[in-house]
Amino acid sequence: MTSGTTRSARELWGAHFATDAAPLMQRINASIGFDKRLWAEDVRGSVAHARMLAARGIIGEADRDAILAGLEAIAREIEEGRFVFDPALEDIHLNIEARLTERIGEAGRRLHTARSRNDQVATDLRLWVRSAIDRADALLRELQAVLLELAERHAADVMPGFTHLQAAQPVTLGHHLAAYVEMFGRDRDRFACARRRLNECPLGAAALAGTSFPIDREATAGELGFDRPMANSIDAVSDRDFALDYLATAAICAVHLSRLAEELVLWATPQFGFVRLPEAFTSGSSIMPQKRNPDAAELVRGKSGRVIGHLVALLTVLKGLPLAYSKDMQEDKEGLFDAADTLELCLAATAAMLREARFDVARLRAAAGLGHTTATDLADWLVRVKGVPFREAHAVAARAVRRAEELGCGLEDLSDAELAALDPRLDPRVREVLGVDRSVASRTSFGGTAPVRVREAIAAARARFLGEAQR
Ligand code: ARG
């Protein structure tokens, strides 16, 4: 231990481990295969820790300088793919520390003063999740920008609005797309809240109880960009709420992406024919030459499953754990990494797919009137113009729908005589409200689908979400 190279974690623990780890122990125990993704955060945390130790006179300045130079060299080795990750050294923390000692000797063995892998890994993972949140926010913002661009282009293009996937009332495509802008805005807000809660530093909690050395937790917290040190050392090493916060937010966001993807899948069918997805995001069939499968959208929909699964997995890992650290917590990483990779891929793919998607506005317009979607407008007209109580007006409109179905025509095609036979108060002027454009234009309540409101809402959304000045 005092000279030469450290070959296994056991050597770092000292004399009371006489035997080597069983090969199966190494397989179940080692996390280096996945936690090497934390290398940059681990180096960063060690740099802050070494500086603080020297500032407090816990290690000498020469040792600090050797440590900093050594860590910088190791970072370069890893970046350039020259670093050998060794499963016998368990995890990223021991791999880097052993390499440091190999490079700089004695000073390397001083780095772990007043620290434990428990506070180290908690710190590293917080730093990693913080970056993941920032990446997700940037991708969400970009997706919102694409949606707002489309919403603007289609602010007045009518389409059927659905409830129960039955044609309900005409809306505009811009209004429909802008609904997703709101959802992704809430996701960004959830990520921002998660980031605020996450941004406290566990470093200095050591194994669980704090340390007898005169450390400066404010200093390390500040250097690592945290708002403050965590208040309780036991909580600091046992808490993974920040990972759950990330996963929960990612899961909700993945559900939003999945609903959007589901609509694209439906809308791209010849039966709907609302949208043509970019060829580059679809595939053909080897047997059915007419097919154009929306694979990317289907995968965005499908991949939401694994993000949701990772949230449930980590909740399950944590739920029975006594305080403070238990090795179970090493299971936090793979799901988290996969969730972040998956979410980022789905956000980017959805934005790219939408950027090139072409909506068939003629087809949307034709579909908007199918299924007597202006029946509510007929009822509202009776209320507004004739003073009929709404419930009664609803019954008249229902009779009109039945009659139009019998005749196989639209509400607006019912003759004057037909209308009068349904109810004497239905005079021909009612036809003015039965067109889809009139219907949509009349829905001017705040948050409604009238193009004038949609354009205002888009401008407001640009200001709220993209930070653009209101025009
Ligand atoms: N690889 C471990 C993890 O990810 C680091 C912490 C190990 N701590 C310990 N006391 N063995 O959780």
Give 7-56 pLDDT, tens digit per residue: 788 777 776 777 788 999 999 999 999 999 999 999 999 999 999 999 99
Share above pLDDT 70 across residues of the chain, in percent, rounded to a whole number? 98
> Does residue 283 have an active-site annotation?
no
AA letter at 422: L
Q: Which residues pair with 200 in a beta bridge?
A: 228
Q: Is 181 in the pocket of ligand 1 (CB under 6 A)?
A: no
Please work out whether the CB of residue 117 comes within 6 Å of at least one atom of ligand 1: yes
Task: Tell me the C-alpha to C-alpha distance, in Å, between residue 278 and each of 51, 83, 91, 359.
Answer: 53, 42, 43, 11
The answer to whether residues 50 and 214 touch, using CB atoms and an 8 Å cutoff, is no
Alpha carbon of 102 to ligand 1 centroid (Å): 22
Q: Whose CA is nearest to atom 1 of ligand 1?
A: 91
Report H helices in 411-450: 416-422, 436-442
**Has residue 2 got a pLDDT over 70?**
no
Tell me what the mean pLDDT of segment 106-112 comes to.
97
Which of 13, 118, 234 is the best mutation target for the ligand 1 pocket, counting ligand atoms within 8 Å of the beta carbon and taking the most? 118
What element of type H or E holds 172? strand 166-172
Asked whether 397 lines ligand 1 (CB < 6 A), one says no
What local confidence, expressed as pLDDT, does residue 5 receive? 67
pLDDT at 13: 74
| Whole-number Å distance between alpha carbons of 373 and 378 | 10
Residue 275 has pLDDT above 50, yes or no: yes
Mean pLDDT of the chain: 95
Instruction: Give the per-residue pLDDT at 131.
Output: 98
Helices 117-153 and 92-104, packing angle to 10 deg: 120
pLDDT at position 290 is: 82
pLDDT band at 3 (very low <50, low <70, confident <90, very high): very low
CA distance 330 to 317: 10
Strands (E), 21-118: none
From the CA of 42, how far away is ligand 1's center (Å)? 13
Q: Is 336 in the pocket of ligand 1 (CB under 6 A)?
A: no
What is the distance between the alpha carbons of residues 258 and 153, in angstroms, rounded to a whole number? 23
Per-residue pLDDT at 303 exceeds 80: yes
What's the whole-number mean pLDDT along residues 249-272? 98
pLDDT tier, 129 (very low <50, low <70, confident <90, very high otherwise): very high
Q: Cα of 223 to ligand 1 centre, how many Å?
A: 23
Q: What is the mean pLDDT of residues 370-391?
A: 94
Q: Is the pLDDT of residue 379 over 60?
A: yes
Among residues 194, 204, 191, the alpha carbon closest in space to that of 235 is found at: 204
As a residue count, the chain comes to 471
User: Could you tell me which residues are beta bridge partners of residue 293?
Assistant: 283
**pLDDT over 70 (residue 104):** yes
Between residues 308 and 6, which one has the greater pLDDT? Answer: 308
Ligand 1 atom having least distance to the Cα of 90: 1
User: Residues 74-101: pLDDT tens digits?
Assistant: 999 999 999 999 999 999 999 999 999 9
Phi, psi of 129 (to 5 degrees): -65, -35
Set 164, 212, 286, 445: catalytic member: 164
388-444 pLDDT, tens digit per residue, is 999 999 999 999 999 999 999 999 999 999 999 999 999 999 998 998 999 999 999
Q: Please determine, for residue 295, whether its predicted confidence score (pLDDT) is greater than 80.
A: yes
pTM over 0.85: yes
Q: Answer yes or no: is the C-beta of 91 below 6 A from any ligand 1 atom.
A: yes
CA–CA separation, 453 and 178 (whole Å): 12
Q: Kindly give the number of the ligand 1 atom that is closest to the alpha carbon of 333.
A: 4
Closest Cα to atom 2 of ligand 1: 330
How far apart CA 161 and CA 57 sit, in angstroms, is 69
Please report the pLDDT score of residue 348 as a whole number. 98
Is the CB–ligand 1 distance for residue 118 below 6 Å? yes
Residues 470, 459 contacting (CB under 8 angstroms): yes
Q: What one-letter code names the amino acid at 215?
A: I
**Distance from Cα 170 to the centre of ligand 1, integer Å:** 57
Phi, psi dihedrals of residue 347, rounded to the nearest 5°: -65, -45
Q: Is the CB of 240 under 6 A from ligand 1?
A: no
Pocket residue to mutate for ligand 1, from 330, 332, 333, 337, most atoms within 8 A of Cβ: 330
Distance between CA atoms of residues 46 and 54, nearest Å: 12
Query: If you measure from the C-alpha of residue 327 to the centroid of ligand 1, how many angstroms do you get, rounded to a whole number?
Result: 6
pLDDT at residue 6 greater than cutoff 90: no
- By most ligand atoms within 8 Å of CB, the mutation choice from 91, 123, 129, 331 for ligand 1 is 91
- Strands (E) in 37-165, as ranges, are 158-163
Kindly report which listed range (8-12, 312-316, 367-371) carries the lowest average pLDDT score: 8-12
Which residue type is seen at 426?
L
H runs (alpha helix) in 199-240: 217-223, 233-238
> Bridge-partner residues for 170, per DSSP?
160
Query: Which residues neighbour 217 within 8 Å (Cβ) at sequence distance 6 or greater?
Result: 201, 203, 204, 229
Average of per-residue pLDDT across 109-124: 98
Respond yes or no: is residue 285 known to be catalytic. Answer: yes
Q: What separation in Å is there between the alpha carbon of 240 and the centre of ligand 1?
A: 13
3-state secondary structure of 311: helix
| Confidence at 292, pLDDT banded by 50, 70, 90 | confident
Per-residue pLDDT band at 167 (split at 50, 70, 90): very high
Share of the chain above pLDDT 90, in %: 91
Ligand 1 test: best mutation among 117, 234, 321, most atoms within 8 Å of CB? Answer: 117
- Evaluate: CB of 112 within 6 angstroms of ligand 1: no
DSSP 353-388: HHHT-EE-HHHHHHHHTTTTTTHHHHHHHHHHHH--
Cβ partners under 8 Å of residue 424, min gap 6:
none
In this structure, the residue with its CA closest to atom 7 of ligand 1 is 117
Name the closest-CA residue to atom 3, ligand 1. Answer: 330
Determine which one of 131, 283, 285, 415 is catalytic. Answer: 285
The rounded Å distance from CA 330 to ligand 1 centre is 6
Query: Given this model, what pLDDT does residue 168 score?
Result: 93
What does the block give as tokens for 468? 């653009």
49 lines ligand 1 (CB under 6 A): no
Nearest of 55, 214, 216, 229 to residue 126 by alpha carbon: 229
Residue 392 alpha carbon to ligand 1 centre in Å? 70
Please compute, for residue 413, the number of CA atoms within 13 A of its CA located in the half-sphere on the CB side: 12
pLDDT at position 18? 73
Cβ atoms of 114 and 206 within 8 Å: the answer is yes
Element (H, E) at 171: strand 166-172
What's the CA-to-centroid distance between 292 and ligand 1, angstroms?
48
